[in-house]
Amino acid sequence: MWRAELALLFRRTRTQALLGVLALVPIVVASAVRFSGSGPQPGEGPQFLDQLTHNGVFAALVGLTVTLPFFLPLAVAVVAGDAIAGEANLGTLRYLLTRPYGRTRLLVHKGAVLVAFCVIATCVVAIAGIIAGAILFPIGPVTTLSGTTLSLTAGTIRIFAAAAVVGGSLLGLAAIGLFISTLTDAPVGAMAATAGIAVLSGVLDAIPQLHAIHPWLLTHYWLTFGDLLRSPVRWTAITKNLLLQAGYMLVFITAAWARFTTKDVLA
């Protein structure tokens, strides 16, 4: 069933369009820098942008930085909000529950598909960025934020590790979206509510007067993946981020299970 759910998700035109847009972002950014006539100055633009003209592999990190505040959360909100509510809206939820799987197992499969989507989506951004960077700029050993140099292979491994951390950063939002999806039969509403929560968290995180709640906000540690490009790697903020996401997952997956296993399924 898990394979069937995964195949169904990635066969959908909507999912393919979302992944296409995500892949396009680092390509557009790298192309804009390449053909602008002059590279960005140090500290100008998103993190890692000033390194792009020196080494094309940084296009992957720029892509992750640019897509994380909006594009990636929106994609996750669309997929998560549709997980249960979409089935109910299409009238297929009752059919799925007639199979000898049970509601808990169905919810587990839906959650596993969401985890896979989060990781695949971020890897799509990273791969598109590396390909675009390799075509448009020279590539070679990677200079870390600490000033040390990694081989191209080691640097590429760090970049995909960063993509995995970004994927993990989205799991809390995915769990929230899955919970909201169990509350309604209107997938568009679930998608909008999930995306709205991500936006609200980002807005609250930008208000200095609310610093006391910042460490508990969903989006607070999202950009900590950059610490993987230091020597040695700074794990403190990354660990806090992943633990925070795990906490959100535990709370909202439990809430989704409690709701879904007691819900009257009419469609």
Closest to 111 in 3D by CA, of 6, 259, 18: 6
- 191 pLDDT band, cuts 50/70/90, is very high
Q: Which letter does DSSP use for residue 227 in this model?
A: G
Residue burial 252-264, b: 16+ Cβ < 10 Å; e: rest = bbebbbebbeeee
**pLDDT tens figures, 157-175:** 999 999 999 999 999 999 9
- 183 pLDDT band, cuts 50/70/90, is very high
Q: Which letter does DSSP use for residue 235 in this model?
A: -
User: Residue 145 has what pLDDT?
Assistant: 87
Least confident of 22-26, 109-113, 169-173: 109-113
CA distance 260 to 199: 26
User: Would you say residue 68 has pLDDT above 90?
Assistant: yes
User: Would you say residue 142 has pLDDT above 60?
Assistant: yes
CA distance 259 to 253: 10
Residue 222, classed as helix, strand or coil, is helix
Q: CA 185, 2, 63: angle at the middle one, nearest 5?
A: 80
Closest to 162 in 3D by CA, of 206, 106, 223, 207: 223
CA distance 119 to 126: 11
pTM over 0.75: yes
Average of per-residue pLDDT across 32-55: 79
User: Residue 91 has what pLDDT?
Assistant: 73
- CA 165 distance to own-chain centroid: 9
Residue 149, classed as helix, strand or coil, is strand
Residue 40, classed as helix, strand or coil, is coil
In the numeric block, the tokens 């792009």 are attached to 52
Number of C-beta neighbours around residue 139 at 10 A: 19
Closest to 85 in 3D by CA, of 199, 252, 256: 256
